[in-house]
Amino acid sequence: MYVIVVGCGRVGAELAQLLSRRDHDVTVIDQVGSSFSHLDPAWRGRTIEAEAMAEGVLERAGVRQAQGLAAVTNSDAVNAVVAHVARTVFEVPAVVSRNYDPRWRALHEAMGLPMVSSTAWGAQRVQELLESGRLRPVLSAGNGEVEVYELAVPDLWRGRTLAELVADVECAPVSLTRGGRATLPQPSALLEADDVLQVGASVEAAAQLRRRLFGEER
């Protein structure tokens, strides 16, 4: 796959190197030549020192042949415009825009762009780790609106049913592991201490489930 990465800060450089290690052809665009120093010296992709929104730059980078483009500068306006042009004008199949400032997130959403909001996602992960106790996220969907959480069942819930645990909580049990063997959980399953349960839920539902698990509900 041929991919264009716009922005060679820490995120763009790491992304370019990850893609290259997976045998994709990568071109990186950045208007500041010194930014390419973020790339590993062994990296052998193509670099273009130019403003991505300047006339002809995306075409010089081969956007008409690109299968993917990621706009990951620290400017939300640049990311949104470049991603929008790549998708609507050049019809690049896979386009992703980075949201840097959460206050600009609405711009990306208004354009219907696939987006990664790194600041919001990072803050949310820290909050979850601070509040989670024995409930931890293992898989994130979208920008973290829904996640799969893994939890160890406390002794408080020994002998009680899974249905009782998740009653009135907007979540979807994914798997139940006991003695190293995972099964698809049934509502009637009786829980044992130290069972490992994976459940899909929103942040709010996960917090509600955590409070119930550890007897913190009022």
Q: What percentage of the chain has pLDDT greater than the value 70?
A: 94
Which domains are assigned to the chain? 2-116 (3.40.50.720), 132-213 (3.30.70.1450)
Tens-digit pLDDT profile for residues 42-89: 888 999 999 999 999 999 999 999 999 999 999 999 999 999 999 999
pLDDT value at residue 127:
65
Tens-digit pLDDT profile for residues 178-210: 988 999 999 999 999 889 999 999 988 988 998
Q: Are 80 and 108 in contact (CB under 8 A)?
A: yes
pTM: 0.65
Checking if the pLDDT of 174 tops 60, the result is yes
